[in-house]
A = this chain, B = another copy of it.
Amino acid sequence: MQPTPETLGNRRDDFFGRLERYRELVTPVLTAALPDKEPRRHLYDIIRAFVGKPGKGLRPALCIATCTAFGGREDDALPTAAALELLHNALLVHDDVEDESEYRRSEPTLHTRYGVPIAVNTGDAMNALTLRLVLKNLELVGAGKTWRILEEFDHLLVESLEGQAMELGWIRDNDTSVGEDDYLRMILKKTCWYSFIHPCRLGALLAGRSDLERFDRFGYFAGAAFQIKDDLLNLVGDARRYGKEIGGDLWEGKRTLMLAHAFGEASPKDRARLAAMLERPRSARLERDVDWMQKLLHETGSIEHATRAAAELARAAKTEFEVAYADAPESDEKSLLREIVAYAVEREL
C-alpha cells in the first residue's frame, strides 16, 4: 500500500512522539544533575530554563536507540544521553557568543539576554556539569565502561573545538581560499563526531560492543548531510520554523559549502566584491550586501550544488547506516534510527 498523506502524517507524529518519549526519559536525568542551590539567578536558573526548552534531542535519541538496538538496556544509556544533550547545550551557548547569533530556538540567545560574561560562564558550567553526569555512570555500568565513555567525551569535545577553531579562523582571516574539501574536513570535526559518530559509538559501547569504528562512515555522511542541510535552511528556510535568523550565516561571514562553491564559480569582479563584503565586521555589514550575496549564491548555482551534495551525502548515509547496523536485528529502535537519519538529512525545518 502506498502511504497516503494521512498515514505519512501519522507516521510523522509517531516519529516525533517517540523522540518526545526519549526526551521525557532524558530530561529528568539531566535536570537532576543541575545543582538545586545558589547561585540561581545568574547561573542555575539560566541553565534550567535553557535545557527546559530542548531541541529535538537527536543526539540522545541516537545514543539510546543504538544502545537498545544492539541489545543494551535503555536505562544504562540515560546518563550518557543526558550528558550528550547537556554538552550540546553548552556548545550552543558558546557558539552563539562566538557567532554573535541573536536567536536560538526562537528565543533571544543567552548572551543577548544576559550579556557575554554571564553567557560564557554559564556555558562553562554546563560543560563542567557534563563531566559530573558522565561520572554518574560508575554505579550504573561500572568502571571499565565509564572510563571508555570518558575517553569518548574527551575525543568528541576536542574534535568539536578544533572544528570551531577552523571555522572561526577562516572568518577572522577573511579566508577566501577555503575550498569544499576544507569545509568538509571542518564539519567532520565540528559536527559529525559529536552529533552522529560519538552518540552511536556511546550507545553501542553501553551495549557492550567494542567495534566502534563501524559508525565512522555512516556518521560522517549523516553529519555532513545534516550540516549542509542546516546551512541551506539558514539561507533559504522559514525563520519561524527554523528558530534562527535567516541569512544569519551570511551576516556572520560563515564559510559554507555554498560560499566555497561560489568563490570558485563567481566572476573575478563578483569574487572581489564578495571578499570585500565578508571583510567587514558584522556590525558594518548592510542588508543590501546580504541580499546581494544571497543572489550571488543562486546565480553561481551554489545553492543548487549544495542541495545536490546534501542529497548525495544523505543517500550515502542511508546506505552506510545499513552497513553499520547490519548485525543489529530489526527492531522498533532500528526503525526509529532509520527515521532519525532520514529526518536529520532531509528535514525542511
User: Which A positions have Cβ atoms within 8 angstroms of B?
Assistant: 35, 38-39, 41-43, 94, 97-99, 114-118, 120-122, 124-125, 127-129, 131-132, 135, 138, 143, 147, 150-151, 153-154, 157-158, 161-162, 164-166, 168-169, 171-172
A98 and B127 within 8 A (CB): no
Known A43-B165, A125-B165; contact A158-B132, beta-carbon cutoff 8 A = yes
- Give chain A's interface secondary structure class: helix
Instruction: Please state if B125 and A97 are interface contacts (CB–CB under 8 Å).
Output: no
Closest to A169 in B: B42
Query: Which B residues are in CB contact (< 8 Å) with A127?
Result: 124, 127
A229, chain B: closest CB distance, angstroms: 24
CB atoms of B124 and A94 under 8 A apart: yes
Contacts of A98 in B (CB 8 A): 116-118, 120-121
Contact B161–A125 (Cβ < 8 Å): yes
Q: How long is the Cα–Cα vector from A98 to B117 in the complex, in angstroms?
A: 4
CB-nearest residue of chain B to A132: B154
Could you jot down 17 A-B contacts, CB within 8 Å? A39-B162, A41-B169, A42-B165, A43-B161, A94-B121, A97-B120, A98-B118, A115-B172, A118-B169, A118-B172, A124-B124, A124-B127, A128-B154, A128-B157, A132-B154, A135-B150, A138-B147
Contact B166 A42 (CB under 8 A): yes
Q: Are the C-beta atoms of A154 and B131 separated by less than 8 Å? A: yes
Q: How far is the CA of A131 from the CA of B128 in the complex (A)?
A: 10
Contact B135–A154 (Cβ < 8 Å):
yes
A139 nearest CB across to chain B (Å):
12
| Given A35-B158, A154-B132, A158-B35: A114 touches B43 (CB 8 Å cut-off) | no
Q: Which of B38, B143, B172 lies in contact with A147, CB distance below 8 A?
A: B143
Complexed CA–CA distance, A143 and B138 (Å):
12
Contact of A158 with B129 at beta-carbon distance under 8 Å, contacts A39-B166, A118-B165 already known = yes
Q: Which residues of B contact A38 (CB under 8 A)?
A: 162, 166
Contacts of A124 in B (CB 8 A): 94, 124, 127, 161
In the bound complex, residues from chain B placing their C-beta under 8 Å from that of A161 are 43, 121, 124-125, 128
